[in-house]
Structure 1
């Protein structure tokens, strides 16, 4: 497992070691001991989630607040997404900054998103199966969000505007500055 720093404090890209041969491939997608040793971050996950989305779908930007805040380890099982993490920790030196990383079934990259970040993704392929591990349980009352087209963040989702597929719930989210 290789760890690549992203420029946002505690948010890292994980590149697993893939073993390929004529039969296919194998890789260890997560090892808690290796993760903690290489990053110095906790990797105790309690909930797994998976979604299927079609081209143009933008999900997010989502987070949970307070005692239900979640760190996530995300990856793509099929297809390709542009994954976005926004640092919303007021005391962080990278507060208000974001990164965007292409994750795909082909590159096997994973993104670790710490607690205190907003997270979202856009689907760049015909469909995408997205998988993520969470270090805390979901709590509906703790949901928070930032609108995907926030003018301060100015995220390029790499999808033409006329192709955006956004849920009604996500269209109702507030701006980053309203936090």
Structure 2
């Protein structure tokens, strides 16, 4: 990771083109293969689009964290406050749209972004846990989250085959698995 201090800030609508480009570069196409988080072998097409990012930015229960190094956007993530699922359940935050510029992956930047997202969700919203959905065949990525305290729940949901907003699947066995982590 860089020796310069990272800047964490709330993204704005003026960041939308750069955010979309960053997310796409981290997950799709040949450029994504420079990092280890690529989905290029399981999905083609888009990962996100400007309208989807704008919608997230306008949601009062959401925050897109933009991470800069020397003024350049190097990483981002989305956190969303969610109400408790039922009686006795604590409120949670959802973590998604996580991207680190491919050439910078593997140097600790992702770990710093995840920690800041968890800190903000706990301190700002008082939530007790962080949740995320990960494509269940992404074994390396799931293992990375497990090393950071996330637990596989075994709860799955179907991949939205036929909805090109989520990409064009190259496999027929895709589904999402819910991972959770208590926030202290």
> TM-score, normalised on structure 1?
0.29
RCO higher in structure (CA 8 A, sep ≥6): 1
| Greater fraction helix | 2
| Greater fraction strand | 1
